[in-house]
């Protein structure tokens, strides 16, 4: 085992609620543990904690109020001291943060303890841009994400690494398992199933999706289609009301966020994502592992996975007309959607593979820990002028 791995890695997120970032953290934790790292996950408690394997230690930050981080400096201070104490006691060698508030906390703890801080940028931010904090080394999930970090956030290009998110592949269900899952969801075997897995919040733009489905309503009814909207969030009540107003009450079904995403992807014929703001949605890749394609809004780095007409379909964000046309096109052509699904499966295996994702992240940790050790050693020997502790510069 390399000397770097004698120390631990702390994966830091705001919470472990159901969503793409916490699922990413769980997959990353398990892959790193399999490479010999001692892995800890620190976040406010949530349902996805149950998915962590026993070898991964969970640090519950609920008491610090981490998930309410935008409400006050006291939360930052409590989180800071809790994590600093934990990192010292567990000989943590590097902190890897995954959300905006945890980026700030992680950076402060890393500066205090003189250890590396790595951050992954999972999304695009239009607000509070000047207050966004990233690690000395930042991981972008797409090439477009790196360009955004360099251009808008003035990150040095050499400090940003592009590592495509790799997901642990879902299991492909047998015909019997699909039939059982459909029956469990109350869906007939002959029904065509569309699904959208995204929390009900403004940036996911379910309103555009519902408006497009409203335009497609005659076609949906003719094909005995069912649309599954999986998620939770502040807009659910309004979206349920909107679906009723659009006459979609018998077509659209709202499923809770804790629903089995693997089962939803397996029983679906096609998935749709209408988001106005994304980087590389996790469910896009998860669905592809079982041969299912997406129609998605062309935002962030989505076009680096979806090749229009080949691994899925791209539409302009907020464009009801084009989204409706894309849905109708795919509904009416089973061979086309199946072909796109298999091409998506090929691409996720070739370009967004789980093992490659873990290996590249592993190399970033080893490089950053060695670099930090070297700089500290040089300063101790009177060579160089690297400041230590809290005096190190924020980028």
pLDDT digits (tens, 9 = 90+) for 157-191: 999 999 999 989 999 999 999 999 999 999 998 89
Read off the pLDDT of residues 297-338 as tens digits, 9 standing for 90 and up: 999 999 999 999 999 999 999 999 999 999 999 998 999 999
Picking from 57-71, 245-259, 300-314, 352-366, which range would have the lowest pLDDT averaged per residue? 57-71
Q: Is the pLDDT of residue 392 over 50?
A: no
In terms of domains, do 336 and 249 share one?
Answer: yes
Q: Quick one: 375 exposed, middle or buried, by C-beta within 10 A (0-12, 13-18, 19+)?
A: middle
In terms of domains, do 382 and 316 share one?
Answer: no
pLDDT at position 127 is 52
pLDDT at position 7 is 81
Q: What is the pTM of this model?
A: 0.87
In terms of domains, do 367 and 262 share one?
Answer: no
**CATH assignment at residue 188:** 3.40.50.2000
pLDDT at position 393 is 44
In terms of domains, do 58 and 113 share one?
Answer: yes
Q: Is the pLDDT of residue 378 over 60?
A: yes
Number of domains forming the structure of the chain = 2
In terms of domains, do 270 and 376 share one?
Answer: no
DSSP code, position 18: S
Give the pLDDT mean for 349-376: 92
In terms of domains, do 184 and 325 share one?
Answer: yes
In terms of domains, do 228 and 82 share one?
Answer: no
In terms of domains, do 343 and 361 share one?
Answer: no
Residue 231 CB contacts under 8 Å (≥ 6 apart), including other chains:
196, 197, 198, 199, 200, 204, 255, 257
Confidence band (pLDDT; 50, 70, 90) for 374? confident
- CA–CA dist 123, 121 (Å, integer): 6
pLDDT at position 135 is 87
Please give the distance of CA 270 from its chain centroid, rounded to a whole number. 20
In terms of domains, do 82 and 185 share one?
Answer: no
Confidence band (pLDDT; 50, 70, 90) for 74? low
What integer best gives the mean pLDDT of the chain?
90
- CA–CA dist 174, 152 (Å, integer): 47
In terms of domains, do 151 and 256 share one?
Answer: no
Q: Is the pLDDT of residue 8 over 60?
A: yes
In terms of domains, do 79 and 213 share one?
Answer: no
List phi, psi (to 5°) of 10. Answer: -105, 120
Confidence band (pLDDT; 50, 70, 90) for 391? very low
Domain containing 216: what range? Answer: 175-350
Read off the pLDDT of residues 123-154 as tens digits, 9 standing for 90 and up: 876 555 555 678 889 999 999 999 999 998 88
- CA–CA dist 207, 275 (Å, integer): 10
pLDDT at position 117 is 97
In terms of domains, do 343 and 359 share one?
Answer: no
Of residues 390 and 147, more confidently modeled: 147
């Amino acid at each position: 085992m390399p000397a770097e791995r004698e120390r631990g890695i702390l994966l830091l997120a705001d919470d472990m609620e159901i969503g793409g970032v916490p699922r990413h953290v769980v997959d990353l934790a398990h892959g790193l543990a399999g490479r010999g790292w001692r892995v800890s996950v620190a976040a406010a408690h949530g349902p996805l904690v149950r998915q962590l394997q026993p070898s991964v230690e969970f640090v519950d930050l609920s008491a610090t109020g981490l998930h309410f981080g935008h409400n006050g400096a006291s939360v930052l201070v409590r989180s800071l001291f809790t994590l600093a104490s934990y990192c010292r006691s567990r000989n943590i060698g590097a902190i890897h943060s995954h959300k905006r508030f945890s980026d700030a906390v992680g950076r402060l703890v890393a500066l205090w303890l003189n250890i590396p801080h790595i951050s992954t940028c999972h999304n695009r931010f239009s607000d509070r841009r000047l207050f966004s904090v990233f690690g000395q080394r930042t991981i972008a999930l797409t090439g477009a994400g790196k360009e955004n970090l360099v251009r808008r956030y003035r990150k040095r290009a050499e400090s940003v690494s592009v590592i495509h998110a790799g997901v642990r592949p879902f299991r492909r269900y047998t015909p019997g398992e699909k039939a059982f899952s459909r029956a469990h969801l109350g869906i007939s075997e002959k029904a065509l199933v569309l699904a959208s897995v995204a929390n009900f919040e403004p940036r996911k733009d379910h309103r555009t999706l519902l408006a497009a489905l409203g335009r497609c309503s005659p076609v949906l009814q003719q094909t005995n289609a069912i649309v599954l909207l999986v998620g939770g969030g502040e807009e659910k009540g309004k979206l349920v009301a909107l679906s009723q107003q659009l006459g979609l009450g018998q077509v659209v079904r709202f499923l809770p966020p804790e629903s089995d995403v693997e089962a939803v992807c397996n029983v679906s014929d096609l998935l749709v994502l209408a988001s106005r703001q994304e980087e590389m949605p996790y469910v896009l890749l998860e669905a592809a592992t079982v041969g299912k394609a997406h129609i998605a809004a062309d935002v962030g780095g989505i076009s680096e996975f979806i090749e229009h007409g080949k691994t899925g379909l791209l539409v302009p964000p907020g464009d009801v007309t084009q989204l409706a046309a894309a849905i109708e096109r795919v509904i009416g052509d089973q061979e086309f959607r199946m072909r796109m699904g298999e091409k998506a499966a090929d691409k996720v295996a070739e370009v967004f593979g789980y093992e490659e994702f873990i290996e590249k992240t592993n190399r970033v940790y080893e490089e950053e820990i060695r670099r930090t050790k070297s700089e500290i050693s040089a300063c101790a020997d009177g060579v160089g002028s690297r400041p230590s502790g809290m005096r190190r510069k924020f980028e």
